[in-house]
Structures are given as C-alpha cells and as structure tokens.
Structure 1
C-alpha cells in the first residue's frame, strides 16, 4: 500500500475512534458523528484529506457489508405476516414520495432521471435511528411503531431495485428504457442462477467448514462467499451491493445465520463507519451555503412534507389520526441508504454536484432533528388532534373499569415469558395479578384466554393509576429495561411511596441506580443464574442443603444489601419461614408517635429490628444515622423477624 494511502487510512481510523467515543458518551448515533468528522477533515473544510480515491474505494465495501446484513435479516415469514403494512403502506410511501420529489425536481429544471435518483434517496428513512428511538420509548409494538417498522422493511427492499435502476439510468446513452430492460433481464438471470444453485452449494460448504471447528476458517469462508457473490454480480454489470444482499439472503436460509451475523459485524461496522466519513467528505459547506434556500426547502419536505404524506397514506389504510401522525413523524427524516443512493447517483453522473450537495445536507439535518421530533410526537399529536385524546381516554376508562373491583393485587409490568411464568406462580397462591403489556397480539390472545392483562404503557402515570396503583399490593417490572424501569419507579414513588417494587435487570451494573430510584428489590439475571448453577453443583457434590442455602444467602447479601430479607406475603405460613427475617414497609402519618423523634430515640435496635431505608419524598436514605429526625410522610423499610416487626410498628405508631 502506498504511504499516502496508509496515511489516509490511519487518519480515518483515528477519527473513527475519537468520534465513536464521543458519541457513546453523548448517547448519539455513531453514524452522525462519522458524517460530522468527514465534513471537518474533508477537502471542503480543514482539508486534512485533500482527496482520497483509496478511502472511497475501501468505504464502498462498507456498503457491501451493510447490504449483506440486510440480506441476512430478510425474513419472508415476517414480511408475509406484515404484508398489508409492508407491501401496501410501504410501497405507497416509497412510490408516493418518489413521485412528489420527481415532480419537484423537474420543476427545478433537473432531468427526470435525476429526479428518480433524488426521489429514491429522499424516500428512505433511517432504520438505525428509528428502531433505536422506538425501542427506547417502548413503542416498537405500539400501532405506530408497527407501521413504522413495516414501512422501513419495504424501504430496505426498495433499495435493491434502486441499486439497479440508478446506474442504468446514468449509463443511458440512447433509449433509457432499453437500458433498464437489459438491467432487469440481467438481474432476473442472476437471481435464477444464484437462488437455484446457491443453496445447493452453500449449505454443504458451510457444513464442511463448520466441521473444522475453527473460527478463523469460518470467518474466512463468510468473507469469501460474500465478496465472491458480490464480484459475480459486478461482473454481470450489476452492483457489488446487490450481490452482497443476495449472499445474505442465501446464508439466511441456513442454520449458520446468527453465527455469520455475529462474525461479520466488526467488518461491517468498521467499513460502514469509513463510508459515512467519506460521505461527509463529499459535503462542501461553501456549496451548501450558496444553496441554503434549496437545502432548507428539502429539509422541510423531509420533516413536514414527508410526515404529511405518510400520515395521509396511513389514514387511507384505515388507521386513526393519532397513529397516522405518529407514524409520519417517526419516519420524517432521510436515512443511511439515502446517502448510498446519492453517492451512487453522483458517481454514475446522473445527479449534478449542486443537487447532491443539497440532498446530503438536507438528509443530515433531518437525521439530527429526528430524535427531537420522535421525542415530542406525543405532545404534538395530543395538542392538535382532539380525537387522540378521546381514544386515549376511552382506553384508560376501559382499563380502569376492568380493575375497579380489584384490590390488594400485584401489577405486572410486561407479560412476556417471565411475566406469564410469574403470574402462574402467584395465581397458584391465590394472589391477584393485573398485567400491562405493549404487544397487541400477546394482549389479545391472553385476554381471550381469560388472563388479567391489558394493552398499556406502564411508564405512564395515567395507565398505572387506571391499573389500580392506589390499591395494589406490589408492582413487579418483569422485563429488562433500565430506562423504562426508572420511569415506572418515578411514577410509583410519587403516587405510592409505600408500595414494594421489584425490578428485573440483566447484570449488577444498574443495581445501585435502580435502588436509588426506589426499587425495593433488584433481581440481576446473570447473578441469579450463577447462584442457581452453583447451588445445583454443590448439592450434586454432596454439600448439605443448609450450607448451600447459607452460601447463596451470603452471596446475595454481599451483592445486594437489600436482599437480606423479603416482604411478607399472605402465604408465608411455614414455621421455618416465620422465623426468617423479612422486610416491611411502614409509612408514618402525622399522628404517629415517632414523628419528631430521632432514629436512635425510637430504639429499633434494642427490639432487634434494623431500619434499612428511609424514603422521604423523592429522596432515599440507606441505613440512616441515629441522629436523623423522623417526619410525617416518611416511609420506613424495616428488617426483622415478624414478631419483632409487629412490636416495632406498635412503637413507631403508638409509642408502645
């Protein structure tokens, strides 16, 4: 490799490391950082890289691996299950947006071929940004989330024919329809050959490689297959990216799909990052400034016009106004494939340089604004669409009516596998439960089966209140999502500071954060799995059960100081359990005798009871000092044997 090319690669790698670190700290998509770095170091800004054909050629392989991953994720059963949204609403969105942009481009004096390329690029939305934000807001399974994901699926599929059409239009020296016809014939022939012979060759090849039990050999084989098929399609006059997509589709039909996806990710992320840096390098800030009016116009189309277009089409498909507008706002931005198509159109000579600059700048601005639009979509919909208020109120009224006669129950936030297993165990002990879940299909099937479950977002105060929060006995977050759990804890601690709350998490990294927010118990899956594994191993090795239990209890106490006990339930009847220390929550009202006294003065220690936590408003004090003065409204979490807890409660409330 020439020294200049090596310098370019090193500079790009250094920039990539710096930007990913900063974006991780700022909780921003790394893709946006790559673009900004490309703008800064490119020939139109600082000029650290004057021009780099080598970097652009290397970054093109990032698109190859992106399309390969897209092929791996291609699922015909999933597409068929969502066929109305994907092929109906999705195709309407892409075609409708393309036609609108085509008309605008022709009015602006661009040829229709350039209008098609620009329309295809602007029709795309960012799968990475939208899926991440919807997941963070727990809206993937909401109606507008399902519609947004369905449209994104069709957009991903639409990239494939656009990768064929755009270069064909750019090479059209004579009749463009004749060129397109030949391109379609080529792709049809290539598809027949690959889809017929591919599975018959790939499966035995992967079986043979897997028998070698070598990770290095497996990765080499994946690279060979991916780049080999991409090379074959390029030799047929098509694009490398199309061949990579077909390779991904073929491997997705084998049992090695998930392993391949995991192994290829480092190559894809690295090269894709370089691709977005080189896209940023193409952006000329002086040219954008000269075309600022056109940039803002395209930006307004992406954020406002695209929202209106998608909302209108969603309404045509019979969805509510609130769902339609939320779907439109979720997709009101350009996407990563938009950059791919713009680069392809410019490289084919199809798109003028000025139009490319306008498209690049507008898509970048729309992607930067996407998090703010999605974050405030609920507020905007409720403010301007009165029927959405009525629909939400009706759902909450139905939920409240179902739980009106329920009291002393446990609210389960999430009704997946863990939630359903927990519900069955609680119901065996005659403990009433009521579950909230955001998967409409799951809720429908469970409700038909007679389960106490409703569709609702447990992070919202009005939903929890409608589920009987004021009358509940406990609340359990059954899914692993720290952000969502923190929102639920915030609501619960404001409305029911005395309510025991149990939260599930993946490991022990967020335990203190959740406990500070008000969780009484935090169950870490990794730790509990390890404890169960150790307990089974010790019992098989002949360690007495009492010692096994002592080891487990000691391990829990070291990790979770609050796990030193449990909240008593109505079914704790055995003599052995009656002797065990447990946790008990007690709220002091204004008439309690302990109000105004210090912790030391009430003498809990002499009763054999430990004050584990004191909650005052939104604050939490773990193991408060003896000099801490108790106030009306304080919630005390006490640890001790049942009979001692009863004596402590009488002393705190009545001074006995």
Structure 2
C-alpha cells in the first residue's frame, strides 16, 4: 500500500484547524490568527504532529499565489481613481512615513540602511483581511474613519508587488549592486511584457470562453492565467506571487473580473489558510517565551508606531482628530502580506533566525490585539481629543450668533444621501436646521451651497451643545456607524430629555439597543427596503392599495417586529390578471364605514365627482364587469378603477372608512 505523507499532513492540518478556527470565531478572534495558532500547535515547536513544515510548503506557495491573484482582481483603476487623494496622499504618507521612522530607529541601533528599509516594509503593511472583516461585522465600512482605512489598505495592497521587487535589491546592496540592478531591470521588462500581452490577449480569450457558457471551462481558464503568469515570472527569477498579481490586475480591467473573483475566492480561502498555518509552524513559541519582555516590547512598539503614523497621515487629509485616531488604531497591526515579504527575505539572508522569530511573534500579538484596539478606538479617540483640548468644532463669530438665535430647530448629524434629502425638505418647508459632518471635503462643498453645516462630531456633548441641542425639537442621526449612533443617542438624550431623536440604522437588530439608548424613532434601512419591495410586488399583482398601506402601517406600528399575514379575503389575483389593463389603474377594497357601502355604481356619481371610472368589481373571487341595477357595494368588495392619478386618489376615498378620509 502506497503512503502519501502530504495527505497525512493535510488531514492533521485540517482536523486541527477546524476546531481552532471555530473557537476563534466564537471569541471574535480573526480567522488569520486562528490559522497561525493552528500552525503553532501542530508544528515542530508545538505538538509535533507535523515535524517538517516544508511538507506543506508547496501548498502554502499556492496560497500566496492565490492571495496576490485575488488582490489583483479586487483592485481596479476606477476604484483607485474614485478614492483619489485619500489613497495616494493618505496611503503614501502612511507607508513612506512608517518605513522612514523604522529606518531612523534602526540607524540608532546601528542597523544598516538596507535592513532598516526591510524592517520598515514589514511593519508598514496592515491586515486587510482582519480590518475589513471587523469593520464589516461592526457596520463601520461606510463611516468617515472606515472610508479612510479602506483607502489606505488599498494603497498598501498596491505596494505589495513593488516591495517584493525591492527585497532582492536590498539583498543586492551587500551582494553587488550591479547584479541587483540587472535583476530588477529584467523583472521590469518581464512585468511590462505580461501587462501589455495580457491586456491584448486576456479579454479576447475570456470573451470566446464566455460564449461557450460553461462555468468549469471559464474557471479553468482563469486559473490558467493566474498560475501561468506566476510560472513565467518565476522562470525569470522573480516571485511567483508577482505574476499572479499582474494576471489578476489585467483580468480585473475586463468585464469578467467580478465573475473571475467569485470563482477563485474558494480556492484562495483554502490555500491561503494553509499558508498561514505553515507560517505558524515556523514560530518557535518556546524560544519566544524565554524572553517574553522582548516579544511584548516589539509588539507594543509596532502598535504605537503604526498608530501614530497612520493618525498623522489621516490628519494630513483634513480629517478630524477623532477620525484620525480611530484610523490609526485600526491600522496598528502587522499584515498578512508582511509574512509574504518575510518569506522572500529569509532565503536571501536579510532576516536572521532570531529576528524572524521575534517578527513572527510580535506580528501575531499585534493581530490578536486588533479586535480590541478597534473596539476601543471610539473611547480612546474621545480621550485624546479631551487631552489635546482641541476645539470640538470651529464656528465663526457671526455663525455663533446665528446658532444662538436658533430655536425649535432640527439637528442633522451626517450629511450623506439621507442627510441631504432631509435638509432639502426642511429648507423647502421653512424649518430651521443645522448640520454636523466629519468629512472636511463634504463640509466645504456644502458651505459653497450656503448650507448651515459645520465640521464636528455629532456624538460628542460639547459639539451638540454648541449647535443648541437644549433648544432643538428634533435630532436626526443619519450616520452609518452603530456604535457612534448609540453613543450619540445617549448623549443627546442626556443633554435634552425632551428632544425627539430619530435614528437611521441599517439593520432591524439594532432597534432595541437604540431605543434603550433613548431614540424615539428608529428607521431601519433593511426593513424599509423589504417593505418597499413587497409593496411594489403586490401592486404589480393588483392587490388593493389600501390593503397594502394597511399592512405597511401595521408593520411599522409593531416596531418592525414581523410581517403580519396579509389577508386578501376572497380576492383572486387571476380575476385581476384577466382584466388585461396596464394603464392608470388602481384597486381598492371597500372598508366598513365607507361612503360607498350600500350604494350602487350609478348613485355614487363617481365619474362626475372624481373623474375615475369603475370597470369591474371583484366579489367572492369573481369579476363583475356589468353589475345589475340591484347591485350594491358591500364591505370586502374589491373595486377596479381607471383614470388619472388624481382621479384615482379622489375615487378611492369613497371606498375607504370615513376616519381614513378625514386623516
């Protein structure tokens, strides 16, 4: 019987990884950290279930290839252009600033320039996988700090390939600058040829493959491009991952990029997991525990340095101190691609065994700290702002006078789509309002439109006090950060117990917490979208508009608890369908107490009074097109009307209860 050592190792690897990752998920530890812990447990420095990490090195290399391939697929020039200055300036300052700071620190300890640059590159990258997962779970991707974090992470992803090309050059600083420059020159030629050839060839091939309409062939073709490009670059002495990244970038610019990404993601998740496990196998936990202070000092130094530089980079974009601090804490861990860079540097002799072990240990500690740092970012940012004694918001003297004169006004926190629409309606109605927004560019644009908008955090008590919350009638929170919303609601309720607080939230599950914090009205986007969808679908099928509205009102009055069963009585949708009318048509159910009850179509004089015409009445599931003279409307009948929109609105009132008409 043949033995397959790699199969045995894979079985052990997966068997241990499953419970570890499940436990990590339960305790809200990032999956990447779970994989690293798995590697530590089963590796030669742990339980020794797998004695040689190189037994899975080939699969780990495939994981690196797929990681870079999907990064290329996820990037696009249009996305980079959309984020623009935030990517280039914010990301550039964060990466360059971190490398420069590490180089200076390295020089203080007598470390060479080339090694200092390598250390800086390893520290500069943050974990896209960890940060985006946590921000998605917390609903903070579309917040002021969330958008900056995404932009900086995007720039870091763009830097991975240049940094991988830089590592051999750094090794060449001691081995011979001439040969290093020659290698880099060859690399640039190969990369350029791949990009140009790929842009010409790939879209045409994928277009042909797409016409076959076979998903298996399409997926195989995508994998061929990724692995083939990796093989080409490795043949010229470059990293496998560089070729995969270029292939992904080329495919992302075609119309098939999204489909390619969805096909590759399952492979990436599996093989990248093996890569992180293999990295964990290399970590000698026993050696690190011999000098735990060194490990903790390195981890703490990395976190503080990265947080400080990312905070400064964000401030350079004109963001508030609070947003800058929250961004800095979110980016304070070492990223997964730092392990890829380290893997390139070790064979070149740039990282010694002790340094590599310290780096791995400090990186894992920083990753473990990431969820806690992000959770504490809000309170820490508030504390920093208080210590710095920075003004919560800047108001000119004449603006302060205008705010002081405001009374019975609305405070709008957040000037996104919802905030803009609300401001437009309030202005048209002549209702006084003031807006708080944390995006400096948005504030500047709105001020040019003469909006009463100020740069400030509407969840802070000093900011709300300066816009007159004690005199306001309504505060509307139209932001996309659940934690900030809860904090803002609690602060607003404490400052003014009588103010009406309206909150827009994304999910129904957030309603109880916001109501406990003090919100009077909570409008969940998730549910309002579902309500609008079911209402439109029912209208298409001819369900009476007042029946639909009654159900919508009932759902909202029950605080979005559950959708009630919609009772359509004896209404048969087939009867409506057979009418064959697609113009200005409406159906209305006759309600108890309506003026039409007991009347016939002629005595109502519907057409003369409203302009609408009755073309059918549905009773007991049957459509009556020409009721006899003895016919009388009764409760539960469904009346089909045609006419103009205004006529339909007037005509439907005759079939509704009088209380509805008065309302």
Range class of TM-score, shorter chain? 0.7 to 0.9
3-state SS of 1:340 partner = helix
Alignment of 1:134-283 (within 5 A): 152-167=153-168, 175-283=175-283
Change (3 A) 1:437 1:16: farther
Alignment of 1:286-301 (within 5 A): 286-292=286-292, 294-301=294-301
The one of 97, 100, 104 equivalent to 1:96 is: 100
Which residue of the partner structure matches residue 73 of structure 1? 75
Q: What TM-score do the two structures reach when normalised by structure 2?
A: 0.72
Cα deviation for residue 378 of structure 1 reads 7.2
- Separation in 2, partners of 1:303, 1:534: 49
Change (3 A) 1:286 1:87: closer
Aligned partners of 2:478 and 2:504 also within 8 Å: yes
Change (3 A) 1:132 1:105: farther
Aligned partners of 1:102 and 1:119 also within 8 Å: no
Q: 2:58 matched to 1:57?
A: yes
- Separation in 2, partners of 1:191, 1:423: 51
Alignment of 1:156-555 (within 5 A): 156-167=157-168, 175-292=175-292, 294-305=294-305, 331-370=331-370, 388-392=388-392, 394=394, 403-555=403-555
Aligned partners of 2:392 and 2:457 also within 8 Å: no
Give CA-to-partner distance per residue, 1:138-162, whole Å, 9 cap, x none.
69865x8777666545443332133
Q: What TM-score do the two structures reach when normalised by structure 1?
A: 0.73
Give CA-to-partner distance per residue, 1:254-311, whole Å, 9 cap, x none.
2333443344333333332322222111110122134545434533532345556677
3-state SS of 1:220 partner = helix
Give CA-to-partner distance per residue, 1:234-263, whole Å, 9 cap, x none.
222211211122122212322333443344
- Separation in 2, partners of 1:260, 1:240: 19
Aligned partners of 2:310 and 2:328 also within 8 Å: yes
- Separation in 1, partners of 2:228, 2:127: 28
Change (3 A) 1:78 1:508: closer
- Separation in 2, partners of 1:402, 1:3: 79
- Separation in 2, partners of 1:524, 1:147: 25
Change (3 A) 1:175 1:321: same
3-state SS of 2:405 partner = coil
Cα deviation for residue 96 of structure 1 reads 0.8
Change (3 A) 1:338 1:428: same
- Separation in 1, partners of 2:308, 2:483: 31
Change (3 A) 1:13 1:410: farther
Cα deviation for residue 44 of structure 1 reads 0.6
Give the gaps of 5 or more residues in structure 2. Answer: 565-592, 594-658
Q: What is the aligned length? A: 562
Change (3 A) 1:15 1:433: farther
- Separation in 2, partners of 1:194, 1:339: 25
Cα deviation for residue 33 of structure 1 reads 2.5
- Separation in 1, partners of 2:448, 2:533: 37
- Separation in 2, partners of 1:246, 1:65: 12
Aligned partners of 2:392 and 2:463 also within 8 Å: no
- Separation in 1, partners of 2:523, 2:25: 27
Cα deviation for residue 560 of structure 1 reads 2.4
After superposition, the CA RMSD in angstroms is 4.1
Which residue of the partner structure matches residue 28 of structure 1? 29
Change (3 A) 1:153 1:556: closer
Cα deviation for residue 320 of structure 1 reads 9.5
Cα deviation for residue 342 of structure 1 reads 1.7
- Separation in 1, partners of 2:249, 2:199: 10
Larger radius of gyration: 2
- Separation in 2, partners of 1:425, 1:213: 49
3-state SS of 2:392 partner = helix
Cα deviation for residue 85 of structure 1 reads 1.8
- Separation in 2, partners of 1:534, 1:465: 42
